[in-house]
Structure 1
Amino acid sequence: MAEARSAVSELRVPPNLEDGRDSWKIFLKETRKSLIRGYYRKRNALRNGTWPTSTNNLLAVFLIVLVLLLADPAPPSRPLSLRPPPNQQPVTFFARIIWRLADYAPNFIRNAPLWLQACFLSWIVSASFFIVLMKIRQYLLRMLLSYHGWMYAPPKKVPTKIKIWAVCVRLVSGYQPSLFSCQRSLPLLPVPPLKQTLKKLLASLKPLHTEEELKKLKEQALEFEMNLGSKLQKLLVLKSWWAPNYVSDWWEKYVYLHARSPLANNSNFYGCDHSHWQPTSLPRARAATVAHLFLVFRRMIDREELRPLSLRSTIPLCMAQYERIFSTIRRPGEDEDELVHFDSSESRHVVVYSRGLYYRVDVYDSRNQLLSPTAFEQQFDWINEHSLKHKDSVCMEWRQMPALTALPRPDWAKIQKQHFSSGLNLETLQTIEKAAFMIVLTEESPPPFSEKASWLLHGDGASLWFDKCFNLVVFGNGQCGVNAEHTMADAPIIGHMWEYAMTKEVTDRLYTEKGHCIPPQRPFQQAKCNQPIWLLWEVSVDIQKSVSQAYDFSIKNNADMHLIVKEHSAWGKGIMKGFGVSPDAFIQLALQLAYFRDSGSRQKFALTYEASMTRLFLNGRTETVRSCTSETAAFVRSMSDDNIPREEKIKLFRKAASVHQELYRQAMTGQGIDRHLFALYVCCRGMGYKSKFLEEVLSQPWTLSTSQQPHQQLSQIPDCNLEPFRDKVSPGGGFGPVSDDGYGVSYMLPSDHSIFFHVSSKHSSKLTDSDRFINHIFKSLNDLKTLFEG
């Protein structure tokens, strides 16, 4: 198009690349960087591979053996017995045994001086000892971490047995691990017994089916267990012996990459910044600071300076998902998408979207230093002026290009193959793919909480690049949030990065009184920075048509989403703890009561999905807690019966809460239901079989999909219950409903004084209404509080 051709003159060429005058300097500089990066990667790989044994142990043993050999430099002239002679010291006897190994050394070693022979033997002995010690400690730690009895012990009254176990874990673990050190010592996810899974499954379906339906399911389950299920179970057990995780690779492939629905409102999730406090009202200063903090977080991951998370300061969690939260893209495919991750050496820029125009911003200066927030703010100011000047020089479809990523995956794959496989469009697309992340600078200023959350979930139809690992969205009033793609990492991982940046804004002074970024302190000096590069598109008539249709589809899809975010500020988890109930169980029971009331005269219960983690195991991701149990149903029905005494209702409540906690623990320790059933189904289809039983139980819709948002994952964080920090907590984030006639509920318990709820549904459904349901949630919470207070 004419707009694209006329805009080519705006394309900036980075300094020192205009000709070949400095090619040798550039070559030497890049070679030096590559060697340094290679050194640190090899060093980290060595440390991670040998943890929990330190390479210092290798050096210590080498020196000790060398001293012993040099203290007795004469090799034995006669055969040694297994016991030292009475007149010979054990140390000397041990040294002579080692000297005997020289007989098996190559000739050039045996003919070498004694000191060289001693060095060679010391190295052989110390290396052998080190490898044996390393393997023993790794397997011993894996065995210790396979024990999960600690999860059932109350934190305030820990039994002696658990204390001894914790001491053993810390002794075997040794020194503080780096980010990926614990991976080799994590246990493998076990395959639960088939009979156990089927028994739990039928129990979970009891509140949702009639007696006749349950009888039929029991017959199908028994037939499956005795025939096909037994074969599939053996295959899963076999896979669990050699695969890092028997389910995670299939989960990523078939649940995420094989899904053909649009990412917007279906897969991607969002997160919000501070609830009531705002550090600055200047959007570009806010974008600069948060982007800088994100890149510092990436540097900590690359250097493995970020410490692995642990439960109760003892039990490490799997950190594998942190490898891909930056510089990752989900490429569309007609049948299956592809997740592509770029190394940090290839991804040295971010891409900024402003007024429909895209810009590449290099994040390092000429000295390979990370850009400071002040430097970022200057870059964003330039982009703001440039986009304001040129926003009318391009067609509407140019500005709506991100709408293509909101299409169903096969449609976007066909368009990308047809129009983005060569030329200028391919270059721009590759720049976006290799970016560390996206930054969206929008002039919109939606009010909190619901309107802001809706924008973060699906944008305005033409701003968010949903394929990208995550989009940092900064609004015109200085507020911000994040939209993240789900395939590469789960919410707790993005939440960890987000919490790091938001906490820094609270604890550190990052803005001036006028709201601008504070200049870096001396002796740091920012070197020369490349000017942002305007990324161009070649927009043909066919692309215009595709983009226009994609935008219309996106607007229609977004209009159907009904998202409500509301704060319950009357009280928080402190009240629940005072009742002696787990806050998560308390809220889950309130959600079940709310849904029962929301169903009206139908008086229905919902198949409920509550996300739990399995990161106690290698490459673990999530598991499902089926929160709607028979005990929960009994309690919920009792709340509608005035003839049941209050004490009986409390008894039913505590029983339901206890069962829920037990299910949650089982899910965390690899004894859940749904990932096992999913893996059985994949095996079944892969072997060419069909199972009516598996298809029926796995096709039931998750009418109520819930998740508790992670918080306080940092080791050092201000107490959110203190008055100065109550307005600075995050309301968390959320997601769209899983079922067209269901609800998606996300909740955050940041302090003892407030709870945030994110409730999503679809306007097109005649059964759901987010406003109505969140009112039922609030009423249920207050009814439960009244029940306990009498």
Structure 2
Amino acid sequence: MSTWTDLPDTGEGTFAFDDQLPRVPLPTLDDSCARFLRWCAPLLTEAEYAETERAVADLLRPDGPGRILAADLERFDAKPGVGSWLDEFWPSRYLGRRDRIALNANFFFHFRDDTPLARSTSAEQADRAAALITAAVNYKLGLDVEAIPPATQRGTRLSMAQNKFLFSETRIPGSPQDSVRVPYTDEWPGPSRARHIVVLRRGAMFRFDVIGAEGVPYATADLAAGLREILSAVREPVPTDLAAGHLTTLARAEWAGVRTELAADPVNRAALDTIETALFCVCLDDVDPADLQESCDALLAGDSGNRWFDKAVSFVVFGNGDTGINVEHCGLDGTTILSFVDMLLESGVADHAERSGAREQGVPAYERIEFAFNPLQRATVASAAAAFAQFAADNATLTVSFPDFGTDKAKSLRISPDAFAQLAYQLAHRRSKGLTGATYESIATRQYRNGRTEAMRVVTPEMVAFVDTMDDPAADAAGKLAALRTAADAHVERAKECQRGDAPEQHLWELQWIQRRRGEQLGATEPMPFFDSPGWVITRDDYLSTSSAPSKNIHYFGFGCTSPKCIGIAYVLLPDRWNLYLATPTAVEHEMHEFAAQLRIAATELTELLSGE
């Protein structure tokens, strides 16, 4: 097998087509308002809808701030060097959040243990970790020379811009907004030249070289030997008040103040620089999960002293060789991580080593990363650890699996797999909670330049009618089936709207962000009642927050609960199975369990209805 640099230049480099992709369409204010009224209507009473209509009319006033802000967004979209009108939206949305990102924003994937990479090595912790490092370094070297093939979907090229956030990206806490330390920027041109990663064990952190002085990756056996030395060196957990990783669980403004104070000390400044420039983290956890549920929970939160949640990519390897990844969300979405993970897991470790040019160089250099905490800072670390432990305990989770249902079954029933899932969610939610509530679904839009995701609102009039019909004693099977088909078709059409860029929420939300950023400069400081209207508030007050991630190499995908009443639904729809990871506050945990029970019933009912055609 040739190394990356030996491959012929085909002109189809990783980022070669990004500037050729179509731009994200910018809707007009009138179109977004009209569409928003249609989208919010199923969730509102007549009075709430009338109030929202009045607020929309105010937003559309010729002399109102809405028009000024929309015009400014058009100006920004036409500005040279701007790839998308959403280029300011994403930093505001992700970097502007002020609560903790651990569990609230970071997401995880749990890897299957029968992938080619897993089968090519033993389940011993150091061996599994070394295999992941070898594979990731191989990918990084391919990315450096732009030899990673551009992703496509059904023949359509996808944006590869997010791949620039895979290695050495670190979120930096700040006020009023966080920033990102990342390669491929003016401050850090080109790919990262870092040769090290950070290895975490029982709260201790180590700088660990994975690429030798001559730019050659270490052999997998060398990496495993070094990791074993680290495992042996940390015989006891680091005292809680000295495990710096806990600080990354703090609310962002608080963490920003702590980090600024830490960085005033040269010892701490050097430690932070080592962590923030590292290619990625490898967390060697001191637990052996008993089952998939326990593995998922540990990947989501785990021992916060053994994490650096601000790092873009953290591989987690448990004592029994179980593996997964925790991802910081600001620059990376699930589809990009899945492409990355798939390439890592779908080849044996020897193939990755050969492609990267890895060779034996002895045990890699490593050294402990030390912080100099004063007593007050140690107290802050301990307080952060305790607060996050309680926060994690207040997040209830549940894995649900349908081993007899997947995309193959859905297609045999002539229904969109995602539509089937969403119809089942709505029916189960109504039966478990007695109401239809706002539901979010993430729709990938990487077919556009700098494309990320669009916010889809699942509750359509057809969806409400379907749920009503399913529990109508007077409805017969034919009527239920007709309502099911109509709702599924409406769902597919709504998803296509989002994929075309014809979705209102992010467009209108960005106008609100523009007013905050430069409303005074634009003369657009007048309050906009629309953003307090029932339509805006109720439509975005999620009862269900859903996102899917298809990959044959993962068991589960997950994220934490997103509001005091919401059930987070991260789901994996594959040919032979449908796996879900649910999350909700423990205060309403019983509602999640009832939802799961009703979901099993709903899935069976829908399957029987469709099978009877």
Conservation of the 8 A alpha-carbon contact between 2:567 and 2:583? yes
Residue in structure 2 matched with residue 620 of structure 1 by the alignment: 451
Deviation, structure 1 residue 576: 1.3
Residue in structure 2 matched with residue 397 of structure 1 by the alignment: 241
Residue in structure 2 matched with residue 410 of structure 1 by the alignment: 253
Is it true that 1:639 corresponds to 2:470 in the alignment? yes
- State which of 191, 200, 214 in structure 1 corresponds to 2:26: 191
Distance 1:519 1:573 in 2: 34
Residue in structure 2 matched with residue 352 of structure 1 by the alignment: 199
Secondary structure of 1:620's aligned partner: coil
Conservation of the 8 A alpha-carbon contact between 1:247 and 1:679? no
Residue in structure 1 matched with residue 522 of structure 2 by the alignment: none
Q: Which moved more, 1:432-441 or 1:223-232?
A: 223-232
Distance 2:174 2:356 in 1: 49
Give CA deviations for 1:310-357 in whole Å, capped at 9, x if unaligned: 2222x2111111111110111111321111114545421001011222
Residue in structure 1 matched with residue 503 of structure 2 by the alignment: 672
Deviation, structure 1 residue 675: 1.5
Aligned residue type for 1:493: T
TM-score by length of 1: 0.71
Is it true that 1:526 corresponds to 2:526 in the alignment? no
- State which of 221, 241, 245 in structure 1 corresponds to 2:78: 241
Conservation of the 8 A alpha-carbon contact between 1:616 and 1:669? no
Residue in structure 2 matched with residue 387 of structure 1 by the alignment: 234
Relative to structure 1, the CA distance from residue 176 to residue 664 in structure 2 (aligned partners, 3 Å threshold; closer, same or farther) is: farther
Conservation of the 8 A alpha-carbon contact between 1:366 and 1:529? no
Distance 2:382 2:250 in 1: 11
Distance 1:522 1:401 in 2: 33
Conservation of the 8 A alpha-carbon contact between 1:730 and 1:750? no
Residue in structure 2 matched with residue 610 of structure 1 by the alignment: 441
Conservation of the 8 A alpha-carbon contact between 1:706 and 1:745? yes
Deviation, structure 1 residue 395: 3.9
Conservation of the 8 A alpha-carbon contact between 1:364 and 1:370? yes
- State which of 167, 175, 178 in structure 1 corresponds to 2:13: 178
| Percent identity of paired positions between Structure 1 and Structure 2 | 26
Relative to structure 1, the CA distance from residue 630 to residue 189 in structure 2 (aligned partners, 3 Å threshold; closer, same or farther) is: same
Distance 1:595 1:521 in 2: 49
Residue in structure 2 matched with residue 18 of structure 1 by the alignment: none
Q: How does 1:580-591 map to 2 (within 5 A)?
A: 580-591=414-425
- Give the count of matched residue pairs: 585
Conservation of the 8 A alpha-carbon contact between 1:285 and 1:377? yes
Aligned residue type for 2:198: V
Residue in structure 2 matched with residue 504 of structure 1 by the alignment: 347
Secondary structure of 1:769's aligned partner: helix
Relative to structure 1, the CA distance from residue 698 to residue 431 in structure 2 (aligned partners, 3 Å threshold; closer, same or farther) is: farther
Secondary structure of 2:60's aligned partner: helix
Ranked by relative contact order (alpha carbons within 8 Å, sequence separation 6 or more), the top structure is: 2
Deviation, structure 1 residue 362: 0.9
Deviation, structure 1 residue 213: 1.1
- State which of 592, 596, 610 in structure 1 corresponds to 2:426: 592
Residue in structure 2 matched with residue 757 of structure 1 by the alignment: 580
Conservation of the 8 A alpha-carbon contact between 2:223 and 2:364? no
Aligned residue type for 2:270: E
Deviation, structure 1 residue 519: 9.1
Q: How does 1:178-257 map to 2 (within 5 A)?
A: 178-227=13-62, 228=64, 229-242=66-79, 244-257=82-95
Residue in structure 2 matched with residue 329 of structure 1 by the alignment: 170
Distance 1:630 1:620 in 2: 29
Distance 1:296 1:473 in 2: 18
Deviation, structure 1 residue 483: 0.6
Residue in structure 2 matched with residue 115 of structure 1 by the alignment: none
- State which of 374, 385, 393 in structure 2 corresponds to 1:540: 374
Deviation, structure 1 residue 702: 2.1
Q: How does 1:38-57 map to 2 (within 5 A)?
A: none
Is it true that 1:740 corresponds to 2:564 in the alignment? yes
Secondary structure of 1:226's aligned partner: coil
Distance 1:548 1:523 in 2: 43
Deviation, structure 1 residue 525: 4.2
Residue in structure 2 matched with residue 316 of structure 1 by the alignment: 157
Distance 1:564 1:247 in 2: 38
Give CA deviations for 1:575-594 in whole Å, capped at 9, x if unaligned: 21112111011111111111
Residue in structure 2 matched with residue 563 of structure 1 by the alignment: 397
Secondary structure of 1:631's aligned partner: helix
Deviation, structure 1 residue 463: 1.6
Aligned residue type for 2:334: A
Residue in structure 1 matched with residue 541 of structure 2 by the alignment: 701
Deviation, structure 1 residue 689: 3.1
Distance 2:447 2:358 in 1: 41
Distance 1:509 1:345 in 2: 24
Give CA deviations for 1:737-771 in whole Å, capped at 9, x if unaligned: 222211110111122x21101111011347x6332
Deviation, structure 1 residue 529: 5.2
Residue in structure 1 matched with residue 591 of structure 2 by the alignment: 769
Deviation, structure 1 residue 208: 1.2
Give CA deviations for 1:428-460 in whole Å, capped at 9, x if unaligned: 111111100111101201123221111111112
- Structure 2 stretches of 5 or more lacking a match? 520-524
Aligned residue type for 2:594: R
Conservation of the 8 A alpha-carbon contact between 1:437 and 1:469? yes
Secondary structure of 1:249's aligned partner: coil
Secondary structure of 1:731's aligned partner: strand
Conservation of the 8 A alpha-carbon contact between 1:734 and 1:758? yes
Distance 2:303 2:601 in 1: 33
Conservation of the 8 A alpha-carbon contact between 2:217 and 2:357? no
- State which of 115, 126, 132 in structure 2 corresponds to 1:290: 132
Distance 2:545 2:47 in 1: 27
Is it true that 1:475 corresponds to 2:475 in the alignment? no
RMSD of aligned alpha carbons: 2.4
Distance 1:522 1:200 in 2: 50
Distance 2:550 2:597 in 1: 24
Give CA deviations for 1:546-572 in whole Å, capped at 9, x if unaligned: 111111101111101111112211222
Deviation, structure 1 residue 543: 1.8
Conservation of the 8 A alpha-carbon contact between 2:569 and 2:583? yes
Secondary structure of 2:570's aligned partner: strand
Distance 2:350 2:86 in 1: 41
Distance 1:580 1:743 in 2: 28
Is it true that 1:372 corresponds to 2:219 in the alignment? yes
Distance 2:168 2:588 in 1: 37
Q: How does 1:28-177 map to 2 (within 5 A)?
A: 177=12
Deviation, structure 1 residue 619: 0.9
Conservation of the 8 A alpha-carbon contact between 2:335 and 2:444? no
Greater helix content: 1
Residue in structure 2 matched with residue 361 of structure 1 by the alignment: 208
Relative to structure 1, the CA distance from residue 522 to residue 784 in structure 2 (aligned partners, 3 Å threshold; closer, same or farther) is: closer
Distance 1:237 1:253 in 2: 18
Conservation of the 8 A alpha-carbon contact between 1:240 and 1:246? yes
Deviation, structure 1 residue 528: 4.9
Conservation of the 8 A alpha-carbon contact between 2:283 and 2:307? yes
Distance 2:252 2:52 in 1: 35
Conservation of the 8 A alpha-carbon contact between 1:189 and 1:618? yes
Relative to structure 1, the CA distance from residue 695 to residue 213 in structure 2 (aligned partners, 3 Å threshold; closer, same or farther) is: closer
